[in-house]
Structure 1
């Protein structure tokens, strides 16, 4: 037999599962929900911070553009660059003087260096002129690109990447072509802004999280500016190079999950990047999640322990009732439950006692009904061999043998054999209506040989009712009463009609005669077997068998009156088709 869990164990399992789901999923759900909110908030704040920093960088770029415009639009500087006759010493002093004025007026917050290159082999600079070699400069890629730019800005950063032969300082550089009018080129301007003073602090923030890094990169991923303690800044930048154009928000760098945001710098091809370690952002949230889970686990253990003792208390009463039920199962109906507990347990205990009493009463009733059934069956079998019936039949056979020289006697013996076979030769309690009718026909032929044509019997049994089974010898006693007592004082020929019809859910069998009928006193005697002088088996016996087999809603009714005939109606059920005991 498959082992089943006890109610207590099921209760504990249900408590544990439901509580565990709630106590463990709740903090996890809260963690994922709040972490997403925190991440979204961080992204928003970081974007705002990047926009502010980008605005500061754009301000530097605008200052460089304004300064460069002052230089390239200065007619005096342009004339000096075009003048081939004037001595280089005087030209250099005048150009460099104007350049320093521009730097002081427009670029005073920065550490800058301005350089002009004409097309006559001369270089003018506010820096160290010794670092420049004209023949080398005009071979540089950025120089050739500036010539072809038609005066457009060319931004180069970091400075030492493109101008390593001339300077070793980091910074941002603007290179542009100087023209007079629209078509005449005068020279090339180089404006360096180094990563000092104001530029050095552009990326710094007072409220940056630990492990946060900000970088300003060019299109190739070279570092222009940066913050944070990094041993190899360029290697770190190389790890971000592939994500510059994707605006990724979640990346992994050196095995560490980070939130990465990018912001382009207008007028250049540079990118401002900020990376924030995801662990730093979620450190407090993770600690809170772990703390909540730990508290919930302790709470879960406490709940399970309490549930165990509570379930043990409640299941104790159920176990006691179960033991009592086992005793009832073994046949002991004397047990009584005195189990107490909750309202439901008390109700169950009372119901158990009522059930045991009811079962005990039912067993006694079934035993009594079984004994009554056997008694009725014995009475029916005894009635089948009623000496009076056999004596009358054999007496009729004797006289007919004398009168008709035994031919009619042969017929009587044949019908008697059919009749006895139907009522004595079968040991089943039930017989079909069709077989019962055959027995009645044989019985009627025997009685007609005795009484002559005093009566006729008609049968109205539709085909669909012939298969229905009824108790043996159910109709014969009623028919016998009609033959023996209905027509003895009547002059006209008697008629007995046996019919079967349906009145859902009952089957009605009617035996009707046009005999002399009964008065009320005779009807009372007919229903009382001890006082009855009519039936050899007793109509009460028939009534008891109907009630026994079909229930108290079935039975037999008799309607009669003086000179009005008699109608006997038997109400039964088609037990064979309706799923009964037959």
Structure 2
């Protein structure tokens, strides 16, 4: 027999909210959430690092390309500029063959520009032949001793570009120039004369061309083929003897773009040789990648990872909680079943594994229900067998005593008494059989014990009298059969049966709260206290007989462990035996067989 909650139906899941276990660090919920977070963060960090490195490499590649492009553009601009200066020198050389020196002085003005400081021609002795303006040359300057003069006269090249220097040809003027020098010849007075022509280019133009902005603190500088610095933005440091490290490294580099590492800095270095001068233009840019943006992307990446971690943690907690909810519900059902609160089935749903677990749990519950019904049935069958065994034990016991009485009456010649006793015995057994029922009404039980007392009265004569009192409201109450007869027998045999006369047996049936109380009282000799203390125990003495114990055990088997006999006795005053039974009435046809 399965007990279920009145609001539930067997076989259906309990619709009430299930208990979700409290937080535990080692719970599957936390482990799943932590694992998801950990794996996600590892993936995010790995992807971020890959993307970061790829972006860093892409930015460095872009820096290197930009550095090479700007170097190429500046080299082309400087080449073009020097080509213009060479073209000016070619034009002046051409005019030398067509005009006299005096005529040429007035024509050179057209070649002057803001970036051209002076154009002049000197003969082999250093005497000026042609000048672009009327500025007075310094008399203390020996032209032939100037580096640009001696270099051009000894160099076999078409023209020579000098290092940057301060030109001191004119009084009070000290421009920073680069001098283009070339050897020239012209006809004068029927003679061929030779000399040196110079074109002083203002160095500011070269400086401006090299001042184009490069990324990441990049810069451009110029060296000659020997590695000497022609121009550098840190010119003062070079004059002070402090040579930047990249200059030394770049001097050994071939033309093209290279990556040079100096200490903890990686730089892109592009070397481009000029076609119109023995110079090399070198562009330098730091390859800092994303670090070039300073505090730009870095904090955003960290903040993005933190926000993503929080989102992943919240999402994984919610997702794992929902995924594990069927498992938590199943745990709650198991807990209630362990506590004996019910055996309802679990809903089969959720992920596949949880569904399979729920299905296994339902099969287990079904098997437990089956076993509970089987055990209950077996227990009821066992109780019935024990009751039948006890009843079978009582019937022969009384029968033996009654037959002894019949024999005694027959031996004494009391034929009428024998007939009355046999008739009373017949009615007694007719009531005892009671349709093979285990429970009968109180009214039938009192009739049965009355027949028994009639038989015993015939046997003992005037030794005792009896009285039966029953409240009307309990007449139809149910009681196991043959409850009062063994008690009455015990009152006669061990109580009033030892008296010659004056014995009294009173049997009552009444309601006591929600219980039925049957009592058998006699005024016999009573029971000794040491015997009374153990009267209902299985190893009680022979004086109590099997009657009291038999009735006590049958009441417990039929009605429950809280019911049974209570024996009160005083020596020389009598004994009262009370039977406590549940108050039940016959309301259904088959209820007596339950």
Higher relative contact order (CA 8 A, sep 6+): 2
Q: Which has the larger radius of gyration?
A: 2
TM-score (norm 2): 0.45
Provide TM-score, normalisation by structure 1: 0.46
